[in-house]
Amino acid sequence: MLQSLFKISGHRVPSYLVISLIFLLAACEGGTTPDLQTVDDEVIDMSKRETIFGDSGGISLGNTPNSRGGSGGPGIGVNAYLWRATLDTMSVWPIASADPFGGVIITDWYAPPATPNERFKMNIYILDRALRADGVRVSVFRQVKNTSGGWQDSSVQATTATKLENAILMRARQFRNRTAQ
């Protein structure tokens, strides 16, 4: 029965060609996206939705005239001053991973030139769109060389992470003050 549907003027047309034509014609339908769409039983006005690219279509790293709330703009979920200050403060460390949308910066291991037998690694989390004292969290990991030349986990002074957080916050305030002037 299907074979008779795929005959045009007595010639048999391969089924893959007919199916491809059906999909092609279905894709050409309408040409515009409706303003209202239903997603998971919820009606969404597509013209008013917020995307990771913001209202203007570009990624915003600072205050823009059309940004809503916080200094990060609509494109990034973290404070732009904290993000910039973190990258600036940690510029000596090699960055293994940086996610501006999630606010996570992970450094690779770094051995300061003054102490080549120890190395440090940091995970930095920017937690808010506002420039607040609790908007940044730093986790510091330390390893020291043992007698066989391998790296062994070691403790970190309790104040190290707090000092780094304070340095990042101070730099972020400097960036904000420069922008305000």
**Would residue 123 count as lying in a domain?**
yes
pTM given for the model? 0.58
26 and 84 belong to one structural domain: no
CATH (domain of 119) = 3.30.530
Expressed as residue numbers, the domain containing 25 is 2-31
**Would residue 164 count as lying in a domain?**
yes
Strand residue runs (E) in 23-94:
36-39, 42-45
**Would residue 75 count as lying in a domain?**
no
Distance of CA 159 to the CA centre of its chain: 28
**Would residue 116 count as lying in a domain?**
yes
**Would residue 124 count as lying in a domain?**
yes
- Over its length of 181 residues, how does the chain's per-residue pLDDT go in tens digits? 445 555 555 667 676 666 665 655 555 555 554 555 555 555 555 555 544 445 544 444 444 444 444 444 455 578 899 999 999 999 889 999 999 888 999 999 999 999 999 999 999 999 988 888 889 999 999 999 999 989 999 999 989 999 999 999 999 999 999 888 7
3-state SS, residue 7: strand
* Domains in the chain, number: 2
19 and 86 belong to one structural domain: no
